[in-house]
Structure 1
Amino acid sequence: MPAFSIIRDSTPPSDILKGAVVAMGNFDGVHLGHRAVIGAAIEMGKTHGRPALALTFEPHPRRFFSPNTPQFRLTDETAKLRLLAGMGLAGAVVMTFDKGRAQTTAQDFIHRDLIGRLGVSGIAVGYDFHFGKGRVGSPSLLANEAPKLGIEVDVQAHVDIDERPVSSTAIREALAEGQVTEATAMLGGPWFVTSEVIHGEKRGRDLGYPTANMRLDRDCGLRHGIYAVRVGRGRGTERVLIDGVANFGRRPTFDNGAPLLETFLFDFKDSLYGEVLDVAFIGFIREEAKFTSIEALIRQMDDDSAQARALLAANPGLFPRLGEIG
């Protein structure tokens, strides 16, 4: 498979895939609506014999405009690029969203960035995508400019599930309620996090449930509770998937401390300290609770593990399709 190319503001013109079709969006989560836009770009590229790229912005524009407001991102930059790399795209254009970008007019963005620097031959966007200073740029503006620029523009309508439009906001709301099955349906695959395994208090060893402990982003809005999870270890052909049960929360039985993701991997003995793992959330089991005795906690953990095994057995191999980005 050809390498997934990442084009940034600093990329020399000679290294840019000129004449590509681009799918434009923030793509937080790379959900079904985003996938429709990306799919349209890929099909347009095939029709015209052109590569297809995703064009996105980092940091997320919301972070630039509201730096002090908590932002629960479904995917950070790396996770987003790994999902995009798994979709059959030739690469991604990552534009830095800063003061200069925020002040760029829609017309300048079209003529200077899209046509002048990237030399795009086609554009696919969602019905609600806006760009440029004051969010003046719109799908209709692109469609009106297209004939003069000699490019094709495809505008995708919203994607619905059970008459509800799929959106990053709807997915965040689902995860905040622990509704990971609903989030999976909207994402087109399970929501996942990636983090390094760190040392914890090692209480799990004494309980018979040693865990891989991971800190998540401070703005993570996932509901605290117990989940059936599938863990990805390694990359590429070396990746292995391991089933498990995880607690995300503050451990009220012990210290009620900072939120931590603690994952018990079934039938697994190796040390994982310092490794970076992907943890995909397959099912919600229960909310976090405080127990009056260690014996009661262990009995509940036994039951949680049994439920997690059943949920995972009903969803064999379910895991995000991730590409390699180097």
Structure 2
Amino acid sequence: MRIFTNWRDLPQDARGATVALGNFDGVHLGHASVIRAAHAARPDAPLTVLTFEPHPREVFRPDDPPFRLTLSAERADALAALGVDLLYELPFNHEFSLMTAEDFVGEVLHKGFGVRHLVSGQDFAFGHRRGGNTSFLADRAEALGMGVTLVPPVTDSQGPLSSTRIRRALQDGYPERATAELGRPWAIRGIVSHGDKRGRTIGFPTANVPLGRHLEPARGVYAVTIRLADGSIHKGVSNIGRRPTVNAGTESRLEVNLFDFNQDIYGTDITVALHTYIRPEIKFSGLDALKAQIAADAAEARRLLG
């Protein structure tokens, strides 16, 4: 998959695509249905996604807590796995937010990308102050010779599937629900950083990954699998939270103990997938009690992961 961050001066073979529009945070099953519809509309054209980085909400509401399900690299990997050929990832900033809906369709989609067919969910809004909706998109695009397909939401007994719903499931401690709605386990990806190295003193060395701009799920202990930079997969147990027994700070982070593993992975990129929530984060009376509980958590994670 090739990635472009500008709509101007594109090579000819990156134009004339079928384009799925949206933020695609999480790349869940609803997003997958939009991408399938894009391919079905023009199977002869390159399958392309147009999205934005950062997420517009991060620009308009910078003081909100982190909420992203997938950051740029994770989202790109998930889209590539769905067969996307091209990714238009446009930088979103204050200047771009002032572009009118008319200019977005005419200048960016039509003149810039030379789009042949547009596909989006039925709630897609765009342009300055969200001045363009799907009705506007259909009218203007068709007037400019671009086809349009609007895809209904994927629904189940709980209603429409959405990124918001997946965030809520994770914050409530139900990663299995997120897995069902994403089509894969939800994961946090980041660089392993140096911590206080206390884990190794009690027999459970951990890899520490800052949450950064990722959503913080329910604090506590999870059964996880870890993909290392070399592509290998390992089982483990992780804690997400503030570590109240040994830490008085307010910053949450992810610590993961990889089972039967003793390699140095500091500074490498790892992906930690959450499978099952084992228990909430609690403060213990001391290190001995903490060590005993970590041993029990690790045993439970091994059992759950099989």
1:4-30 CA-to-partner distances (Å, cap 9, x unmatched) read 111112763226611100000011111
Cα gap change, 1:303/1:60 in structure 2, threshold over 3 Å: closer, same or farther?
same
Partner of 1:103: 98
Give yes or no for contact 1:18–1:120 (8 Å, CA) kept in 2: yes
1:1-326 equivalences under 5 Å are 4-9=1-6, 12-14=9-11, 17-46=14-43, 49-217=44-212, 220-234=215-229, 238-257=230-249, 258-313=251-306
Partner of 1:317: none
1:16-47 CA-to-partner distances (Å, cap 9, x unmatched) read 6111000000111111111111111122231x
1:237-281 CA-to-partner distances (Å, cap 9, x unmatched) read x41100000011111111233222111101111111111111111
Q: How many angstroms does 1:118 deviate by?
A: 0.5
**Normalised TM-score (structure 1):** 0.88
Partner of 1:321: none
Equivalent-residue separation in structure 1 for 2:99 and 2:7 (angstroms): 18
Give yes or no for contact 2:69–2:214 (8 Å, CA) kept in 1: no
Unaligned runs of 5+ residues in structure 2 are: none
Equivalent-residue separation in structure 1 for 2:8 and 2:301 (angstroms): 46
Q: How many angstroms does 1:295 deviate by?
A: 2.9
**Normalised TM-score (structure 2):** 0.94
Cα gap change, 1:134/1:115 in structure 2, threshold over 3 Å: closer, same or farther?
same
Identity of aligned residues (%): 42
1:210-232 CA-to-partner distances (Å, cap 9, x unmatched) read 11111111663211100011100
Q: How many angstroms does 1:99 deviate by?
A: 2.7
Cα gap change, 1:150/1:263 in structure 2, threshold over 3 Å: closer, same or farther?
same
Equivalent-residue separation in structure 2 for 1:218 and 1:39 (angstroms): 29
Unaligned runs of 5+ residues in structure 1 are: 314-326
Partner of 1:324: none
Equivalent-residue separation in structure 1 for 2:197 and 2:5 (angstroms): 42
Equivalent-residue separation in structure 1 for 2:191 and 2:142 (angstroms): 49
